[in-house]
Structure formats: structure tokens, C-alpha cells
């Protein structure tokens, strides 16, 4: 038996990617009976919260809030409008901007979806003690720290960076 260097374990990036995919699949499955995907849920739940705060956000504002690309938000919004869950109207102050609002049916479905996702999050976070546990709060704070850190501009590939791992 060799006592040489241990092979490296999974990187934090790989683990975050795996966890994000695991949670996305779980949320997709949980929301399927309501006719929503995880991405659609992110949009309607964010819109629900913003509306409750008195805001009628534009697609751009919702894209910034959710971290989704504006083009993707537009695509999701069109699908949600077709499903009768949101309304899209031109912003009277900016004819290029589209404002979004949940329909009555959209509010009902969103409230149901929020309950489903909260129950799922409780289950997914049980290994840390549940949704309100100190370990979960610490985990959430660490994720916020990583999400709030600005990305450095990308470095062009040249021979001095070839073969190096960041």
C-alpha cells in the first residue's frame, strides 16, 4: 500500500453544480403537478414577492432580481402568459419595457407552489437540521457571500496561462 498523495476530491464548483442540479430536478418534480418548472417558479415566486412589496417590475428588473438572462425571462414570461399565470403590458413610461404582473389564477398557483417548495426545502435541508437550523443559516450566509462576490474579468488565454488551473 502506498502512502502517496491522495487523489483530489471533488472541487467546490463541482459540488455546487451537483447540488444545484439535484435541487432543480427535485423542484421540477414537485412542481410538475402545478404545471410549473423550477425556472418558471423562480419567476412567479419572485414576481409574487415584488408585487406584495408594491412593485410592478419590468422583465429587465425581474431578470436582475432572479439572476436569469433577460432573453430567458422574456421566453419564460411568454410561456407563463400563455398559461394564464401572468400578464405582460407595455410600461407607460418606457414603451420598450414590458411590465409583468401575476393574474388572479397566477397568484393562486404561485401560493400553492411556494408551499410545495417550502416543504421540499425543509426536506432537502433536513441533513443540516431543517430550514430554520443554525447550520442552514450559516450555509445560506456562505452561499450569499459567494454569490455577492464580483467575478474577476476573464483572462485571455495565452501561453503563460496554458496548462494552469485557477
Which residues fall within 8 angstroms of residue 161, CB to CB, at 6 or more apart? 155
Name the residue among 95, 116, 122 with its Cα closest to residue 40. 116
Is 70 a residue whose pLDDT tops 70?
yes
CA distance 133 to 83: 37
- Length of the chain as a residue count: 166
CA distance 63 to 59: 6
Provide, rounded to the nearest whole percent, the portion of the chain with pLDDT above 70. Answer: 88
15: pLDDT confidence band, cut at 50, 70 and 90?
Answer: very high
**Across residues 103-127, what is the average pLDDT?**
97
pLDDT on residue 152: 80
pLDDT on residue 151: 82
pTM: 0.80
**Across residues 3-9, what is the average pLDDT?**
71
Cβ neighbours around 99 below 10 Å, total: 19
**Across residues 140-166, what is the average pLDDT?**
73
- Lowest-pLDDT choice from 17-21, 35-39, 94-98, 117-121: 94-98
DSSP state of 69: -
Query: Packing angle between helix 38-52 and helix 104-124, nearest 10 degrees?
Result: 110
159: pLDDT confidence band, cut at 50, 70 and 90?
Answer: low
Give the 3-state secondary structure percentages of the chain, helix then strand then coil, rounded to 5: 60, 10, 30
Is 158 a residue whose pLDDT tops 60?
no
**Across residues 35-62, what is the average pLDDT?**
94
pLDDT on residue 8: 80
Cα→Cα distances 97→7, 60, 62, 74, 94, Å: 52, 8, 12, 11, 5
pLDDT on residue 135: 96
Classify residue 44 by burial, with Cβ atoms within 10 Å: 0-12, 13-18, 19+: buried
Amino acid at each position: 500500500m502506498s502512502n502517496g498523495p491522495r487523489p483530489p476530491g471533488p472541487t467546490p464548483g463541482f459540488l455546487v453544480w451537483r447540488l444545484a442540479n439535484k435541487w432543480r430536478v427535485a423542484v421540477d418534480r414537485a412542481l410538475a403537478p402545478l404545471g410549473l418548472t423550477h425556472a418558471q417558479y423562480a419567476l412567479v415566486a419572485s414576481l409574487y414577492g415584488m408585487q406584495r412589496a408594491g412593485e410592478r417590475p419590468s422583465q429587465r428588473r425581474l431578470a436582475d432580481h432572479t439572476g436569469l438572462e433577460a432573453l430567458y425571462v422574456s421566453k419564460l414570461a411568454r410561456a407563463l402568459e400563455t398559461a394564464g399565470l401572468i400578464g405582460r403590458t407595455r410600461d407607460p413610461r418606457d414603451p420598450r419595457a414590458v411590465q409583468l404582473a401575476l393574474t388572479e389564477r397566477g397568484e393562486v398557483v404561485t401560493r400553492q407552489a411556494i408551499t410545495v417548495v417550502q416543504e421540499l426545502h425543509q426536506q432537502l435541508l433536513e441533513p443540516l437540521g431543517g430550514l430554520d437550523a443554525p447550520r442552514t443559516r450559516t450555509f445560506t450566509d456562505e452561499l450569499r457571500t459567494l454569490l455577492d462576490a464580483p467575478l474577476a474579468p476573464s483572462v485571455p488565454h495565452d501561453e503563460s496561462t496554458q496548462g494552469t488551473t485557477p
